[in-house]
Amino acid sequence: MNDLDTRVNIPCIGESFPHIEVRTTLGAMTLPDHFAGKWFILFSHPGDFTPVCTTEFASFALNHERFRRLNCELIGLSVDQVHSHIKWVEWIEERLGVSIEYPIIADANGDVSRTIGAIHPPNSGSTIRAAYIVDPGAVLQSVMYYPRGVGRSIEELLRILQALHVVRRHKVATPANWPSNELIGEEVLLSPPGTMEEARRRKGMQGCLDWWFCTKRL
């Protein structure tokens, strides 16, 4: 086995999301074109009819409208066949009372998953638990991988998406655990100054602990 057999194609933040033709439970789509002008989160799962993945897909569905309020759509992915996805969606609705309206990619040969680095190692044959946040310009803004036995936090994905909106709109940064940071609460952080003069102006300013650490209330 050579290096090409073991190398995972890890997509990088700031890169354009690859152009991919996909087959989904809602029909054929082209990504990222299908979500032009919107944010979208593509999330992969190890397999249909598994307990952790079932709870995740139900949670995504129950919070779908919250994502939409942030101009974000959802799309799932695994290497299962499309008929497996369809039956699983039916089971979730019949047994759990949760309707899944977002599409799920059927990537039976694994080509899509390998393109976005969702199979680790690349010859394992099943998708890992991953989430990719893509902006309206089709640029990748966040990539998260999770252990097989650990369900992801939908609230954290929503928090990241909300933070990305704030960072872009106000040209600021968000602290740890925003909007509930232990030191500055829901305030945000100003970018460090770019000149000596700006650094001097910030000394003693309200909200500045030092010239490089300044907070702002939105």
Within the chain, where are the H helices?
Answer: 3-6, 51-62, 64-68, 82-91, 111-115, 154-170, 196-202
CA distance 136 to 118: 22
Whether 53 is a known active-site residue: answer yes
Paired sense of beta strands 213-216 and 208-210, if any? antiparallel
Q: How many CB atoms lie within 10 A of CB 206?
A: 7
**What is the DSSP code string of 50-85?**
-HHHHHHHHHHHHTHHHHHTTTEEEEEEESS-HHHH
Sequence-ordered list of residues with C-beta below 8 angstroms from that of 70, at least 6 positions apart, any chain: 39, 158, 161, 162, 165
Catalytic option among 12, 53, 208, 214 = 53
Sequence-ordered list of residues with C-beta below 8 angstroms from that of 19, at least 6 positions apart, any chain: 30, 31, 32, 33
CA distance 21 to 28: 7
Using an 8 Å Cβ cutoff, are 80 and 48 in contact?
A: yes
User: Angle at the Cα of 213 (from 176 to 202), degrees rounded to 5?
Assistant: 150
How far is residue 137 CA from its own chain's centroid? 15
Active site residues: 53
